[in-house]
Structure 1
C-alpha cells in the first residue's frame, strides 16, 4: 500500500503544530532564580547564563545580593544557584558554613586573582612597602562593598603587614574604578582592591603588589553552586549550569562590552551568545 503523501497545506499544519508544541514545552520548563554579587565579572557571567537558559525555554530571574546572602539563599533553597563563587580563598569561609547544604558544580572559570593593585608607575612592588609609603597613598586603600571576600581578606592583610595607620575605604566596584582612573589621570599614587579578570587591566597599566604571606592566596577559580534538588527538579538547567565554563579572555571581552557607553549587560550577553554559538553549544545537554 502506498504511503499517504503530505500536501503543502498539511505540511504547513504540521509545522504550526510543531511550533505550538515547542512553545508549550518552553513555557512548561519553569522558573529559575540566580543570585550574584554586583561585580563586573558576575554581572557578565550571570547575564550570559540567563540568556542561555532563556533560549532553552526557562523563565530566568537574576538578583544582585550581598555575598553572604548569596550563599545563604542557595543553602536554604530560596534560590536556584549562582555562577559567582570565588574559591578557594576569597569566599572560602562562606562555603565552609554551608558546604553540606549546597551542590558545588566545580569551576566555570580558572585563572582569577585578587589582591592590592597599583598603577605600574608606583615605585613599590610589595604590600609590606605600603607601611613606609602610606602618606603617598593618602593613608587609604580604596575598597569595594563591605563584607565581600576581598574586603575581609584585605582587613587580614592590613593587620598582618602592620598597616593600621591606613584606612580601608568602603565603596563599590564602580566607585573604586572611578577613583583609580582619576588618580592615574593626575599621576597620583593610589592602591585599590583589585581582581582579575577585570576591564581595568585592559585600559590601565597596573600591577599587583606582591603578597609574601599569601593571605590573598594564589590563582583562584570561579565556581558554579546550586541548591540541593535542582538536578532532580530541572535536569536540563542543571546540566547547562554544570557544563558552563569559559576563559578569562572570553569573560574579559564581554566585560569590555559592558563598559561601553550606555551598555546593557543583558543585550551584550545576547550579543556574545550570537557571536560564539560554538562555545555555547558545548554547554547544552
Structure 2
C-alpha cells in the first residue's frame, strides 16, 4: 500500500516537471513572437523617422474623415503629423506657397475650380482620391412637391426665402448663391454658418417635419441618417459629378519621398469615407474613428504604403 503511494507521488512529480518545462518553452516562444512584432513595428515607424509633415483641410465632415485617416497612416509610419483645419482659400494657398505639405480635400472640377485655377501652377496635383462626389441643394423626401431648384419659388413663404448653408468661403455656398441668380429667386439668401450648424438645423427640421433646404454634398453621413433628395439642377449651376483630389507642395517628393508615395497612392470609396464620417457624427473622436478604420482596413492601407523604403 505504501509502495503504491510513493509510485503515485513519483508520477505526480514527473508530470509537474513536464508541465513546468512546457510552460517555459511556451514563454520563450511568446517572448520571441513579441520581440518579432516589436521589431516589425520599429522598422515601420523608422520610415518617417520623426520627420514633420502638415496636412491642411477644410472643416467639412468629409474632409475631417479623410485627412485624419491619411494622417493616422503617416503617423503609424513614424512621421510627426500635424493636421490643420482652415478655410477653403487658405487651404489652397498654404499648399501652393509651401506653408503646408499637402491636402486630400480638393473638390473638382466645380466646387474648388476657381481655387485650382488660381493655384495650380504652384502645387503638384496627385489626382483623384475619391470618385462619385456631388454637390447641390438638398431637401427632406417629405417635401414631395419640390423636385427642382426652380420649384423653390413655390416654397418662398414656408422657407422664409432662406437656404441654410455652411461656411461662407465654401464652393457649395458660392454655387448656392449663384443658383439664386440663375433661377430668378429674387429676395432669397444663403445663410452661412458651419457644417455642424447646418446638420443640426436639418435634423431639427426633420424631427418636426418642417420644410428646409440646405447646401449638400456627397459623401456625407446625413444621407445615411436621413431620407433626403437632391433638387434637380437643369441650369447646371452646381455642375455634374465631381471627384476629390490630392494636392501637395512642390518639392515634397524630394523632401519626404515615402510620405509623397502614400499621398499619391491614397484612394478610397464613398462607402469608406461615410463609415468614418458616421462614427464621428455619432460622437467618436476623429482620431479614434480614423484609427479604428485603419486597423480594420489594413489591406487597403497596404496598397497605399506599397513601395515605401
TM-score (norm 1): 0.91
- Structure 2 counterpart SS, 1:282: helix
Q: C-alpha displacement at 1:161, in angstroms?
A: 0.6
| Residues 20, 246 of structure 1: alpha-carbon distance in 2 compared, 3 angstrom cutoff | closer
Which whole-Å CA distance do the structure 1 matches of 2:57 and 2:48 have between them? 25
Task: Report the counterpart of residue 96 of structure 1 in structure 2.
Answer: 117
Larger radius of gyration: 2
Runs of 4+ in 1 over 2 A off after TM superposition: 17-29
Deviations 1:225-265 (A, max 9, x none): 0000101111110000000000001111111111123x111
Task: Point out where structure 1 has 5 or more consecutive residues left out of the alignment.
Answer: 1-7
Aligned match for 2:174, one of 152, 157, 175: 152
Which whole-Å CA distance do the structure 2 matches of 1:20 and 1:269 have between them? 19
Task: Report the counterpart of residue 147 of structure 2 in structure 1.
Answer: 125
Task: Point out where structure 2 has 5 or more consecutive residues left out of the alignment.
Answer: 1-27
| Residues 21, 120 of structure 1: alpha-carbon distance in 2 compared, 3 angstrom cutoff | closer
Aligned match for 2:106, one of 63, 85, 93: 85
RMSD of aligned alpha carbons: 2.1
Number of equivalenced pairs: 274
- Structure 1 counterpart SS, 2:290: helix
Which whole-Å CA distance do the structure 1 matches of 2:68 and 2:210 have between them? 35
Q: C-alpha displacement at 1:28, in angstroms?
A: 2.9
| Residues 206, 23 of structure 1: alpha-carbon distance in 2 compared, 3 angstrom cutoff | closer
- Structure 1 counterpart SS, 2:304: coil
Q: C-alpha displacement at 1:24, in angstroms?
A: 8.4
Q: Give matches, 1:11-160, under 5 Å.
A: 22=43, 25-26=46-47, 28-122=49-143, 123-160=145-182
Q: C-alpha displacement at 1:50, in angstroms?
A: 0.6
| Residues 34, 138 of structure 1: alpha-carbon distance in 2 compared, 3 angstrom cutoff | same
Aligned match for 1:234, one of 256, 263, 279: 256
Q: C-alpha displacement at 1:138, in angstroms?
A: 1.8
Which whole-Å CA distance do the structure 2 matches of 1:193 and 1:85 have between them? 18
TM-score (norm 2): 0.84
Task: Report the counterpart of residue 239 of structure 2 in structure 1.
Answer: 217
| Residues 234, 190 of structure 1: alpha-carbon distance in 2 compared, 3 angstrom cutoff | same
Which whole-Å CA distance do the structure 2 matches of 1:41 and 1:176 have between them? 14
Q: C-alpha displacement at 1:282, in angstroms?
A: 0.6
- Structure 1 counterpart SS, 2:46: helix
Deviations 1:130-156 (A, max 9, x none): 122211212110000001111111111
Is the 2:246–2:264 Cα contact (8 Å) retained in structure 1?
Answer: yes
| Residues 20, 250 of structure 1: alpha-carbon distance in 2 compared, 3 angstrom cutoff | closer
